[in-house]
Amino acid sequence: MFPIFDIKRFAINDGPGIRTTIFMKGCPLHCVWCHNPEGIASEPEKLYTKKKCIGCQSCVDACPHHLLRLTPDGIDGYQRTSASGKECLLCGACTSSCPTLALEMAGREYTMDQLMKIVEKERNVMEESRGGVTICGGEPLMHPDYLLQILHELGSRDIHRTVDTTLYASDTTVRTIADQCELFLVDLKHMDDARHQLYTGVSNQPILRNIETISRMGHPYWIRIPLIVGVNADDANIESSARFLASLPSPPEVVNVLVYHDIGKGKHARKGTTYNPDEIKMLPPTESEQQHALDILKSFGLNSKIGG
């Protein structure tokens, strides 16, 4: 069984062609700007959308442990651990009883057959567009055994396989996964280790080493840089990123500059958690700032573009 929190059909920004993107749950990084915070924890979580709630109390009545209650601000107690200290067993009784999907579960287990039935529905579209399937997260390399099983099955069906990853994993895991996919999409968040730890909670050293590893292997990869003013959009970081990538034995096929957005704010609200609790200054880059970063990357001979 595979821990999945979303499956996106007809994806056009997760690798070449039109793709089906499978989101695996669990990530060792805790990026301040994460736009999929429901993918960080490995176990299922409940999400609550207040504007969908009609106050029917069906979830309150369905909870076998009486953890939920309706308040003037909506449903309370839907988090894994309630205010009373009781822990939800994630039985799904409350979410399955909600008529408006105001309360829903983020994360469920799929069998291989269930996953492949979804993938096969889009085979014609994927083949005509030269697309395929992208596995992302979360961080799919947190589940190497599960990931390998999925990649092996896709390979046996002659479906193009892309893994969207931070490469925060062991060298052995990266090499093993590389043998079972056609492309890596790799996030490069910051070149300064201290600042990387500040913004993501982990060191960038394993990531940089693994980028060097797949480069030496000659394995196809794209680099994705989330461009965030106040975090990594300064000239020093962009130049350091460009210098590192250009110096590799096999530079990336493309560098995608991804414009920062705060969509994660709404998802944190649905989780009952706080987006950017330390109030780190983060702003989307202007068009001129985007172009400036692009010009720096291109000046090092890197094939670069905005988006993708």
Q: Tell me the per-residue pLDDT of 117-154, one tens digit each, with 9 for 90 and over.
A: 999 999 999 999 999 999 999 999 999 999 999 999 99
Contact 112, 149 (CB under 8 A): yes
Question: What angle, rounded to 10 degrees, do the helices at 287-299 and 235-246 form?
Answer: 30
Same-domain pairing of 98 and 117: no
Report helix, strand or coil for 183. strand
Q: How many domains, the chain?
A: 2
Residue 249: give its domain's CATH number. Answer: 3.20.20.70
Residue 52 has pLDDT above 80, yes or no: yes
Same domain, 121 and 251: yes
- In degrees, rounded to 5, the angle at the alpha carbon of residue 212 between the alpha carbons of residues 211 and 218 is 95
The DSSP code for 281 is -
166 and 294 share one domain: yes
Query: In this structure, are 164 and 298 located in the same domain?
Result: yes
Q: Are residues 151 and 181 in the same domain?
A: yes
Q: Position of tokens 């894994």? A: 80
Specify whether 269 is located in the same domain as 154.
yes
Reported as a single tens digit per residue, the pLDDT across 257-266 is 999 999 999 9
Do the Cβ atoms of 23 and 7 come closer than 8 Å?
yes
| CA–CA dist 232, 12 (Å, integer) | 25
Q: Check residue 81 and give its pLDDT.
A: 62
Whether 121 and 269 map to the same domain: the answer is yes
Average pLDDT of every residue of the chain: 94
Q: Are residues 210 and 284 in the same domain?
A: yes
What is the chain's Cα-based Rg?
A: 21
Residues 153 and 253 in one domain: yes
Same domain? 9 vs 73: no
Rounded CA-CA distance 154/81 in Å is 38
Q: Report which residue type is found at 180.
A: Q
Which tens digits make up the pLDDT trace of 7-37? Answer: 999 999 999 999 999 999 999 999 999 999 9
pLDDT at position 53, please? 94
Same domain, 151 and 84: no
Of the residues 106, 126, 156, the one at which a domain ends: 106
Structural domain including 9 reads 2-42+108-306
Q: What digits encode the pLDDT tens for the residues 60-88?
A: 999 998 889 999 989 988 876 655 567 78
Do 187 and 250 lie in one domain? The reply is yes
Look up the CATH number of the domain holding residue 74: 3.30.70.20
Beta strand residue intervals within the chain, DSSP E: 2-11, 19-24, 45-48, 69-71, 74-76, 103-106, 108-110, 132-136, 161-165, 183-187, 221-227, 254-259, 304-306
Beta-strand pair 183-187/221-227: parallel
